[in-house]
Amino acid sequence: MAGQLQGKIAVVTAAGQGIGRAIAEAFAAEGATVHASDLDLGKLDGLDASKAELDVTDTEAVDAYAAAIGGIDILANVAGFVHHGTVLDCDEKAWDFSFDLNVKSMHRMIRAFLPEMITRAAANGTSGSIVNMSSGASSLKGAPNRYAYGATKAAVIGLTKAVAQDFIRSNIRCNAICPGTIESPSWLDRVEQLGKTVGGTDKAMQLFVDRQPMGRVGKPAEVAALAVYLASDAAAFTTGTAIPIDGGWTL
């Protein structure tokens, strides 16, 4: 069904590649006016969107970005980082960076955009939608060598539920998407790194595929389709959820 987001204004972070780009493209295809940001402005080339360079770890930059855009209907927080290793591989710098980018960036974006989201939802008689990118590796399931990452993505689920609870009567919905392994540039980087230790990229990729119950990794467009649903009025009765989209990995 085309036009699910017609007339809506959306903001998408980390829209330059992978899941973020797929979401920005899907939002635009469904009729939304999209404001796409990324740390690397060049990665936004080709998007049907207003484009901006944005460091979501910079509070002043986020506040200025929100002030420039004004009221929106949809906020998709996608920016994140996958730290590889156990607690013994994670020093304080890595821990702090993971939480700053994966969790506090969402706090910054929500805090900056939420007041005008509430005002716009009230004026239009609709609900605003916040979509946060969590992971199957979170409070849903432990994953090997994802110590800091899993902790941050569990925190995202807690943040999501707190925002959903606090603003449910303000017509603001907040949900988390919890992907499994998704084909993306960052995943391909991890495959390449693993290949150095297991005898090649092809073998590393097969190891990733073999652990998937469906026998394949997911596509960014599949995650984007879920984001469109959560952003749309079809999900008007859905808030505070953490939805796995992982090919059965968390079963």
Q: What is the pLDDT of residues 41-71, one digit of tens each?
A: 999 999 999 999 999 999 999 999 999 999 9
One domain for residues 89 and 207: no
Strand partners, 12: 36, 76
One domain for residues 67 and 173: yes
Q: Is residue 101 part of a domain?
A: yes
Phi and psi angles of residue 36, each rounded to the nearest 5 degrees, phi first:
-105, 135
Q: Is residue 163 part of a domain?
A: yes
The arithmetic mean of pLDDT across residues 193-212, rounded, is: 84
Q: Is residue 4 part of a domain?
A: no
What CA–CA distances, in Å, run from 71 to 15, 114, 179? Answer: 19, 9, 28
Report the pLDDT value the prediction gives residue 122, as an integer from 0 to 100: 97
Integer Cα distance of 71 and 170 in angstroms: 15
One domain for residues 26 and 131: yes
One domain for residues 210 and 223: no
One domain for residues 137 and 108: yes
Q: What are the tens digits of pLDDT across the range 63-76?
A: 999 999 999 999 99
One domain for residues 171 and 194: no
Q: Is position 149 annotated as part of the catalytic site?
A: yes
The arithmetic mean of pLDDT across residues 188-196, rounded, is: 82
One domain for residues 101 and 212: no
Residue 224 confidence class, pLDDT cut points 50, 70, 90? very high
Integer Cα distance of 22 and 35 in angstroms: 14
Q: What is the DSSP letter of 130?
A: E
Q: Is residue 1 part of a domain?
A: no
| Residue 89 pLDDT greater than 70, yes or no | yes
| Residue 1 pLDDT greater than 60, yes or no | no
DSSP string, 123-190: HHTS-EEEEEE--SBTTTB--TTBHHHHHHHHHHHHHHHHHHHHTGGGTEEEEEEEE-SB-SHHHHHH
- CATH number of the domain encompassing residue 231: 3.40.50.720
Q: What are the tens digits of pLDDT across the range 140-185?
A: 999 999 999 999 999 999 999 999 999 999 999 999 999 999 988 8
Q: Which of 65, 147, 149, 229 is catalytic?
A: 149
Residue 209 confidence class, pLDDT cut points 50, 70, 90? confident
| Residue 194 pLDDT greater than 80, yes or no | no
One domain for residues 146 and 234: yes
Q: Is residue 2 part of a domain?
A: no
Token couple for 122: 């009230």
Q: Is residue 102 part of a domain?
A: yes
One domain for residues 110 and 49: yes
Q: Domain limits at 211?
A: 183-217
Instruction: Determine how many CB atoms are found less than 10 A away from the CB of residue 145.
Output: 13
One domain for residues 59 and 145: yes
Q: Is residue 98 part of a domain?
A: yes
| Residue 38 pLDDT greater than 60, yes or no | yes
Residues contacting residue 137 through CB under 8 Å, at least 6 positions apart:
143, 146, 149, 150, 153
Q: Is residue 3 part of a domain?
A: no
CB 170 within 8 A of CB 143: no
Total domains, the chain: 2
Q: What is the DSSP letter of 18?
A: H
CB 178 within 8 A of CB 172: no
Q: What is the dihedral of CA 134, 139, 141, 143, to 10 degrees?
A: 70
Q: Distance from first CA to last CA of the chain, Å, rounded?
A: 30
One domain for residues 114 and 194: no
The arithmetic mean of pLDDT across residues 215-233, rounded, is: 97
Report the pLDDT value the prediction gives residue 210, as an integer from 0 to 100: 85
One domain for residues 174 and 73: yes
